[in-house]
Each structure stands twice: as structure tokens, then as C-alpha cells.
Amino acid sequence: MLYLIQSLFINNFGTLRVFKSIMFRASTAFIVAFLFMLILGKPFIQWLKVKKYGDTAREVGPKSHFDKSGTPTMGGLLIIGAILFATLIAGNFTNKFIVFLFIITILFTTIGFYDDYLKLTRNKNGLSGKKKIAGQLIITALTFFFVYKFGLINKEIDFSIVNPVFKNSYFYITPVLFFIFMALVIIGSSNAVNLTDGLDGLVSGPIIVVSITLFIITYLTGHYEYAKYLNLYHVKDSAEICVYLASVIGALTGFLWYNFYPAQVFMGDTGSLTLGGILGIIVIFIKQELLLPVAGFIFIMEALSVMIQVWHYKTFGKRVFKMAPIHHHFELLGLPETKVTIRFWIVSILTCLLTFVVLKLR
């Protein structure tokens, strides 16, 4: 909206050129999303309570979680609402990346919302794993079509895996294999973030830190001179993604106001599946797919702990961890929930700093 206003009236009001600035509009997006959450958070939580959309603690979970039963869930609806509203206000909708991210966010949210709704109204297991993956594959196909149709850099690099350590280093794997790779990135990221969402405030902090990291890398990637200096592949017009990421950061910062211990609301799959998937799509757009496992190490660790636990139990009949995902393991070792959360945040900060070290090696 701000970008549209300046384009229509800049000849009459020269001061409106400030709305061209990505950093100005990104700052606006952050503030709008944060205030959206802060103002609407309390009445939204009250509405969820009236509707009795409350979470149910797992019977096999830590005993300390039994008190959380009944805590409103589906807070992800408000998070996504804040992101979309802030992007609508500050985003440039003549930019292909903003338009695509806006639409794909709605599609991802539909999957997560339907999953949460089923858990609350019909089946506590929610949407089946196969149906979730089917929906995520459709989104992957749309992302692939976007890359194929509009391009990022050139056809060779677009369908290559870029080496994040060495400059001008990539491995072309053909469009067919790259689609499979895209599916692993998007679906893996979406489900890994979803698995991390198990403690009050646990997933919000790392997503904020990873989003800030991607914000900086995206800004550099979208500017030819900066990209050239750092030996990054310049993706034209991608800097506008910063406005979207700023709205994510603002929305989650506002969400933490209500979600940190003791949580007044949970984001549910509506939020976590969507946010995880979007992170996967953004790293594909800026050709930094292999940096996501570094920056999002916490998400990878959570997902791996579940896979290791399931495989080891089915193979040997014994558990590796007291409980998976791994944040519950640390809880059962006697660590308070808040300490586990803060330590995971600290690890995320360290791994994101490591991401910049890896980037500089180029």
C-alpha cells in the first residue's frame, strides 16, 4: 500500500519517495505486525477460550505439561494475520516474490488450520501425515513452477545446489532432481519447525533469530554490489523479501508477549507448519538452501531426535532419549522448561552467527 501510494502521488509529493526504501517499509512492517499482535492478542485469546479451542496435553508427556491442558491454541491464525496485514501495508505488490509469498502463506495456513481444527473437533491426531505431505507437495510444485517460469539467476544455477562455502561453486542436478531437493527443503523445514513447537516460547525465539539472519542475507543478495563483494549470487528484486521477513519478526515478537512461559496461547500447526515452510521457500529463492540447516540447527536437531528415537525403538526395542523431540528429553532430565527454552535460543543465536562465518568464507 505504501509503495502504491508513492508511485501514484510522488510527482505531487516528493517526500513520498521514502516509501520506495525497502528498509523503511521493512521497519514499518515490523511495527505494524508487532502492534497488530499486541492489540488483538488479548481479545483473540479470549475468543479462543469462548470457542473452547484449547490444547490437550499428551498422556505420555512430561507431568509438568498436564497443567497446560485447555490453553488456547491456533494462535498461528493471529500470527499469519499480522504477517499478511503488515505485508499488505508495506509490501510492493508489483514484486513477484511478495505476491508469491503472500499467496503461498495463505495456502500453508490452510493446511495447518485444518489440521488444528480436526484435532480440536473430530480427531485428536488431526490431519493424516500423508494428507499433510500431499498438501506440502502441491506447495512445492507451485514453488518449482514459480522458479521455472520467472527464474532467479539463470536456468543452470536455478536448478543447482549452491556450495555455501566456496564462491562460484554449485552442482547442477537437473530440474527433476531439483524438484525432489526442493520438496526435502520445504517439507523438511515445515515439519522440523512443527516438531520444535513443544514448550512455551521455544519455537518463536529460533524462528525470529533465523528470520533476522535471512533478512540480512536476503538484503545482501538482492543488491548487486553487495552480492558481488561477498561472492553471493545476485537474485534480482529479492531484497523485497526483507519486508515480508520483517513482518514475520514483528509478528513473532508480539506473539512472545503472550506465548512465553506461562503461555496464554499456543501457535499450533497453523503457525509452525506455515512458518517452517516459508523459511524453506525463502532459502530456495536466495539460493542458500544449505545454510538453513546451519542457521536452523535447532529445528534439525529436533527432527533428527524423533527419527533416531523411532528407528532405534523399532530396531532394538529401546529408546535413545527419555522422550522425543529432544526438548522433552532435557525436561525429563530435570531441567526447568524456561531453562531449556532459553538455552535453545542461545544455541540458535550461535548457529546463526556461524552462518555468517560460513558465508564470509566465500
Report DSSP letters for 16-66, one per residue.
GGGGG-HHHHHHHHHHHHHHHHHHHHHHHHHHHHHTT-B----TTS-GGGG
Q: Is residue 75 assigned to a domain?
A: yes
Q: What is the rounded distance in angstroms from the CA atom of residue 109 to the CA atom of residue 280?
A: 15
User: Worst-scoring range by mean pLDDT, 16-30, 148-162, 182-196, 234-248?
Assistant: 16-30
pLDDT value, residue 12: 60
- Which pLDDT tens digit goes with each residue over 315-327? 988 999 999 899 9
pLDDT value, residue 129: 84
Q: Is residue 343 assigned to a domain?
A: no
Domain count, the chain: 1
Peptide bond into 325 cis (omega under 30): yes
DSSP 8-state symbol, 200: T
Q: Work out the percent of the chain whose per-residue pLDDT is above 70.
A: 91
pLDDT value, residue 66: 57
Task: Give helix then strand counts, H and E, for the chain.
Answer: 15, 2
Q: Is residue 257 assigned to a domain?
A: yes
Q: Is residue 214 assigned to a domain?
A: yes
Residue range 23-48: average pLDDT? 95
Instruction: Name the CA dihedral angle for 170, 147, 185, 156, rounded to a multiple of 10 degrees.
Output: -20
> Phi and psi for 172 in degrees, rounded to 5?
-75, 130
Q: Is residue 204 assigned to a domain?
A: yes
- Domain with 73 in it: 24-293
Please give the mean pLDDT across all residues of the chain: 90
Q: Is residue 6 assigned to a domain?
A: no
pLDDT value, residue 59: 52
- Which pLDDT tens digit goes with each residue over 55-111? 665 555 566 665 666 788 889 999 999 999 999 999 999 999 999 999 999 999 999
213 in Cβ contact with 356 (< 8 Å): yes
Beta bridge partner(s), residue 51:
none
More confident residue, 167 or 173: 173
Q: Is residue 4 assigned to a domain?
A: no
DSSP 8-state symbol, 244: H
Q: Is residue 321 assigned to a domain?
A: no
